């Protein structure tokens, strides 16, 4: 641990939380893993002992501990609101895994708590850090005005039982996988979603949707967005396509490639080696805290993604188009 390193208290040490722990232990300059909290006490204590960090069974005690400078939360999102409100009361910076909440009401309450306490809040919409996303964004001007965006995220079934538990998850693939795509629409197009039409289905899950397809119209009125995502696929892909008047850009953030299409000619685009996007998010949050700057992905960004997810859920339930404010 270096002098001045930020000590992160990590709440959630399961499959995804362990990735945060690993990066804080080994990879993030200016930050260290200061303490951990896990529902599985035996597993949490074993991890803490192996890595020489304090273990807290109660997340409230971790938040208020003097060994914790900032809090990172990687739990089921049903816990985000109380954890966020307690972190705000403690006056500590907060990094939350996406989605920001299980509903727009929860997400707004989290944003409000952080704003009133004047604590930095960042939502880990990690796909923004993808080298493919950054490559496509850099080449976007070359294809002229963009009138269509196509995004897909197709994944294998998840082994996590809580993802099919409405009380813990708050939603299915729309909320937990689609949330990446909803944020990318805003990030790539620099525009807001005006209305959504969505259909959803269950293939392997029992309670919550594990696939959806949606059509968005943006406020500018000149862009159509096609999105789909699933958790039943036998292979993993993450396609991104921008269709402009002077050409098209295509890429896959999972397979780390991108190309430009003009007429019948396809030109590969140089893409740097893939980065670990969780590590990149931790680095970005640490850097903004050290420099006194605003986080690159705000609570409002997280809130807007949840509002889009909610609109998709409503559209799928009602079988009609839903308009966003």
Could you read off the pLDDT of 280-318 as tens digits, one per residue? 999 999 999 999 999 999 999 999 999 999 999 999 999
Contact 250, 239 (CB under 8 A): yes
pLDDT digits (tens, 9 = 90+) for 79-129: 999 999 999 999 999 999 999 999 999 999 999 999 999 999 999 999 999
The boundaries of every CATH 3.30.360.10 domain in the chain are: 127-274+307-323
Spatial CA neighbour of 266 closest among 283, 241, 286, 289: 241
Superfamily of domain covering 6-125+277-297: NAD(P)-binding Rossmann-like Domain (3.40.50.720)
Q: What is the pLDDT of residue 3?
A: 58
The domain over range 127-274+307-323 is classified in CATH as 3.30.360.10:
yes
Rounded CA-CA distance 17/127 in Å is 17
Token pair 């029992």: residue: 206
Q: How far is CA 209 from the centre of its chain?
A: 19
Tokens representing 206 are 């029992």
Rounded CA-CA distance 90/92 in Å is 6
Tokens representing 168 are 């813990």
For residue 289, CA distances in Å to 8, 31, 95, 283 come to: 12, 10, 11, 10
The boundaries of every CATH 3.40.50.720 domain in the chain are: 6-125+277-297
For the beta carbon of residue 239, count every other beta carbon within 10 angstroms: 16
Rounded CA-CA distance 286/43 in Å is 27
Residues contacting 264, CB < 8 A, separation 6+:
none
pLDDT along the chain (325 residues), means of 10: 81 94 96 96 96 97 98 95 98 98 96 98 98 98 98 94 87 94 98 98 94 97 96 96 99 98 97 97 98 97 98 97 96
For residue 78, CA distances in Å to 15, 63, 224 come to: 17, 18, 32
Spatial CA neighbour of 163 closest among 204, 126, 200: 204
pTM of the model: 0.94
Q: What is the pLDDT of residue 162?
A: 85
């Amino acid at each position: 641990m270096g002098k001045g390193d930020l000590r992160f208290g990590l709440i959630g040490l399961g499959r995804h939380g362990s990735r945060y722990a690993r990066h804080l232990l080994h990879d993030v300059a200016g930050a260290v893993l200061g303490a951990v909290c896990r529902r599985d006490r035996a597993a949490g204590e074993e991890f803490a002992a192996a890595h020489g960090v304090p273990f807290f069974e109660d997340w409230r005690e971790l938040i208020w501990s003097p060994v914790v400078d900032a809090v990172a939360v990687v739990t089921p999102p049903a816990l985000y609101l109380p954890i966020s409100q307690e972190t705000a009361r403690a006056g500590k910076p907060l990094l939350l895994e996406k989605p920001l909440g299980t509903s727009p009401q929860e997400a707004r309450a989290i944003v409000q708590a952080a704003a009133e306490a004047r604590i930095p809040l960042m939502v880990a919409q990690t796909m923004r850090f993808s080298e493919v996303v950054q490559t496509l964004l850099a080449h976007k001007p070359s294809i002229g005005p963009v009138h269509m965006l196509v995004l897909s995220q197709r994944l294998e079934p998840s082994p996590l039982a809580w993802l099919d538990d409405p009380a813990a998850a708050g939603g299915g693939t729309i909320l937990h996988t689609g949330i990446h795509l909803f944020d990318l629409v805003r990030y790539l197009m620099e525009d807001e979603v005006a209305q959504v039409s969505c259909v959803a289905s269950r293939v392997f899950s029992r309670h919550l949707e594990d696939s959806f397809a949606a059509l968005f119209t943006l406020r500018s009125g000149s862009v159509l967005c096609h999105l789909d995502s699933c958790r039943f696929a036998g292979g993993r892909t993450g396609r991104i396509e921008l269709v402009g008047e002077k050409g098209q850009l295509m890429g896959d953030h999972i397979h780390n490639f991108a190309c430009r299409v003009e007429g019948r000619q396809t030109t590969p685009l140089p893409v740097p080696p893939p980065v670990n996007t969780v590590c990149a998010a931790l680095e970005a949050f640490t850097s903004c805290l050290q420099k006194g700057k605003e986080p690159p992905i705000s609570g409002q960004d997280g809130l807007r993604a949840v509002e889009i997810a909610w609109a998709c859920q409503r559209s799928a339930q009602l079988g009609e188009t839903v308009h966003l404010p």
